[in-house]
Amino acid sequence: MENPFGKITTLAAVMEFFHDGMTLMFGGFGGVGSPPALIDGILEKGVRDLTLIGNDTGFPHIGIGKLVSQQRAVKVIASHIGSNPFAGQFMHEGKLEVEFSPQGILAERIRAGGVGLPAILSDIGMDNELVVKDKPYYSLADKKYLVETALTAEVSIVYAKKADAYGNLIYDKSARNTNPLVAMAGDITIAEVEEIVPLGSLDPDSIITQGVFVDYIIPSMGVNWKWAWQ
């Protein structure tokens, strides 16, 4: 029986969306909640010159850190890079451009991109010359605010505990982290999931990411998914 919803597919099939020079947004915190099969697939395809947007640069051999360590990225927009020494090394060598954004501001910039806002206003860092340098600001009610531009990407990759064939997602505890926001902000969103379940089996109150945000679903290794829509 063919998949009538068109969202459940294979790793090989979604590889067509990844190319050199693209902007890629990813879920995860220190590698937890990052989609391992998708990241490995990008590595194996040889994609490079990426602009990566996410919470951090993972660890050298964990999560998105694999792409950073193998110099597949030319720019990173993240809240910190300290857990991956290669990121710091490449930044100091001029091989990697790094745009730092406070974690809360980064999350809100991603959310803004996901809901169609062009930017947000924030007073975080207004008293720091290094933060405000070359950044636009806006005056409102006699107070100045930094204009923090929204973030979007050509492709967003996320990792979830469960999905149904519509693309509704449930996450596993802290592995949820930035994934729901990232899922909203990609022109194309691909979810790698541990378990694909029949329609109607997910508790509606437990669904965090609605299927309208998800374009494709791929199973993690070992997942038997062909019966999921029957």
Secondary structure (DSSP) of the chain: ---SSS-B--HHHHGGG--TT-EEEE--BTTBT--HHHHHHHHHHT--SEEEESSB--BTTBTTHHHHHTT-EEEEEESB-TT-HHHHHHHHTTSSEEEE--HHHHHHHHHHHHHT-SEEEE-TTTT-HHHHTT--EEEETTEEEEEEE---EEEEEEEEEEE-TT--EE--GGGGTTHHHHHHSEEEEEEEEEEE--TT-S-GGG--B-GGG--EEEEPTT---TTTT-
Q: How confident is the model at residue 2 (pLDDT cuts 50, 70, 90)?
A: very low
pLDDT digits 0-9 by tens, 49-77: 999 999 999 999 999 999 999 999 999 99
Question: Check: CATH 3.40.1080.10 for 11-117+151-219?
Answer: yes
**Mean pLDDT of all residues belonging to the chain:** 92
Mean pLDDT of 102-129: 93
Split at pLDDT 50, 70, 90, the class of 223 is low
